Structure 1
Amino acid sequence: MKQTRTQPDIPIVFEDDHLLLIQKPANVLSQEDHTGDPDVVSLCKYYLSRSQKNPFLGLIHRLDRPVGGLMLLAKNPQAANALSQQIRDRTIQKTYWAVTSGAPPQNGVLTHHLQKDRDRNVVEVVAGNQKKGKKAILSFAKMEEANDLNLLSVHLQTGRPHQIRVQLAHKGYPIWGDYKYGKNQPDGRDIALRAVELTFKHPKLNQQMHFELAPPNKEPWRRFSIAQS
């Protein structure tokens, strides 16, 4: 697989004149923040700058810092506008895999209202009548159980900060390794949440595009047979 040849290196899943689809490493920011740590947008812009002057790069969606997986960027304003419209229309389909503790049912739909404390960078579930709370909806299906852990396939109907992590933890199914929202979790940023599937319409060719990404061969993913297939 092609790489950006940056520090850290970022695998490139697909690239043409309009799109850049990458495999975001865990513990890399989606975009620049106050920490000054490496971020996807800056690294990918540097990669593009080797072949063009002042490259455009549009951030279509974000992944939380500790989350790895498929992440889509646009290489020109027209593609960015078309893909952003697909996000608003909810026609871009994203699938996440999450390894959780607890005892989730075979499938479910979770609806909460979430409020972000920007000073602490923490999202909390609040009552629906609070003005600052934003409605968050996701659905999940349990794919497999192994050693008191569950492998869930998760689909978002809304895109809120930390949404999957907060909603699952609130129901008693915290994600493995998520020290921010899970109780008795190890203090580490490489949590078991990964963007593994992405379907969208090409902004120029109008063709349906579909990509899948296998989870890494390490703990806790290797405990599940479906993750190794």
Structure 2
Amino acid sequence: MADDLELQEPDEQDLFEHLRIVVDNGQALLRIDKFLMNRIENASRNRIQHAITAGTVLVNGQQIKASYKVKPSDVISVVLPHPPRDTEIYPEDIPLDIPYEDDDLLIVNKSAGMVVHPGYNNYTGTLVNALAHHFSSFPQLPGNDGRPGLVHRIDKDTSGLLVIGKNEWALTYLAKQFFDHSISRKYIALVWGDVLQDGSITGYIGRSAKDRKVMAVYDDPDKGKWSVTHYHVLERFGYVTLIECQLETGRTHQIRAHLQSISHPLFNDAVYGGNRILKGTVFSKYRQFVDNCFALLPRQALHAQSLGFIHPTSKKKMEFSTPLPDDFRLCLEKWRAYTSWKELE
């Protein structure tokens, strides 16, 4: 059931409003910020002006200033971070690993097992509940009740880095980078099988017709949303391979569904078939070894290792990375030891 709930989280692209407005022929000249206030529900003038400054409001494909006056037949496109959900968020004193924080943003190293945002059956104990407590000493944000801003997410049982916007400007500026796919993100994954060479996986990701709890990769654009993952081999262990994945897009379960589609599902990914022995021998000692690895790493072997983006205020390139958590590291050590032992036989 929990995995089905996880799928209720939207794609990263869906965290943003992407609007296209064609101005009526009878429209009188009007400043674009005032015009959009009347056309976008719950959008303050301040929020719209931040979006214009960040370059996420285009008129006829061109960036404009807040003083621009709309004219009949203008085509306006808008990218805005979604406002917070209606679900009441209660601050909880949950310890967080925060490698970096400033006035605009913070980086969180999320542990496996933590849900990012409250939802059905997960109203407490989430990252957002923890952030609401962490932000309790900060001023209230207009229309946001002081709540932290998410611009991307990672699955409950995936560990690693997330960037959080602390004010409307930072949220808007970061949202544009995610929407434009200019954020650099790399994941470390342990997959079943011997991955022979580096490569890329593309396709349209949508819910599986056979099982609504999982995502599938299709060739048909009517069945899903376009997705791209690049992968690079880091280390081979014969029956499993350690790889690095770089995302171009941010679809629900993208890496998990992509790797399953090329017959290399994540090690111990119960949703995508990686929680059983897919490669290796039939000997009982090997089965016991894999079971021991599953016990050390009781989740999918996926870690969001690095993030790179342009800072909203300084405009400098920022890059962050975090080492593998203990469960992932200890599992790799067992595979290294097993591979060395097999080579000595």
Output the TM-score relative to the length of structure 1.
0.87
- 1:207 equivalent to 2:299? Answer no
Per-residue deviation at 1:114? 1.1
Q: Which of 288, 299, 318 is the equivalent residue of 1:190? A: 299
**Matches of 2:311 and 2:213 in 1, distance apart?**
34
Identity across the alignment (%) = 29
Q: Tell me the residue number matched to 1:221.
A: 332
Output the TM-score relative to the length of structure 2.
0.59
Q: Which of 215, 232, 251 is the equivalent residue of 1:123? A: 215
- Of Structure 1 and Structure 2, the greater strand share is in 1
**Matches of 1:176 and 1:55 in 2, distance apart?**
39
Q: Which SS does the other structure have where 2:250 is aligned?
A: coil
Task: Supply the AA of the counterpart residue of 2:268.
Answer: G
- 1:34 equivalent to 2:120? Answer yes
**Matches of 2:332 and 2:109 in 1, distance apart?**
17
- Of Structure 1 and Structure 2, the greater helix share is in 2
**Matches of 2:325 and 2:107 in 1, distance apart?**
18
Per-residue deviation at 1:98? 0.2
* Higher normalized contact order (CA 8 Å, seq sep 6+, divided by chain length): 1
**Matches of 1:199 and 1:74 in 2, distance apart?**
14
Q: Tell me the residue number matched to 1:12.
A: 98
Q: Tell me the residue number matched to 1:98.
A: 189
Return 184-193 or 199-208, whichever deviates more.
184-193
Task: Supply the AA of the counterpart residue of 2:300.
Answer: I
Q: What are the Cα deviations for residues 112-161 of structure 1, in whole angstroms up to 9, with x where unaligned?
A: 211126994321223315x2311111110001012622110000111100
Q: What are the Cα deviations for residues 162-220 of structure 1, in whole angstroms up to 9, with x where unaligned?
A: 00001101111111110000244369863210000111111011111111110023332
Return 85-94 or 71-80, whichever deviates more.
85-94
Q: Tell me the residue number matched to 2:268.
A: 177
Flag structure 1 segments of 5+ consecutive residues without an equivalent. none
Flag structure 2 segments of 5+ consecutive residues without an equivalent. 1-90, 277-293, 337-345
Per-residue deviation at 1:31? 0.9
Q: What's the C-alpha RMSD, in Å, of the aligned pairs?
A: 2.5
Task: Supply the AA of the counterpart residue of 1:11.
Answer: D
Are the counterparts in 1 of residues 92 and 133 from structure 2 also a CA contact under 8 Å?
A: no
Q: How many residues align?
A: 220
**Matches of 1:149 and 1:33 in 2, distance apart?**
34
Are the counterparts in 1 of residues 115 and 125 from structure 2 also a CA contact under 8 Å?
A: yes
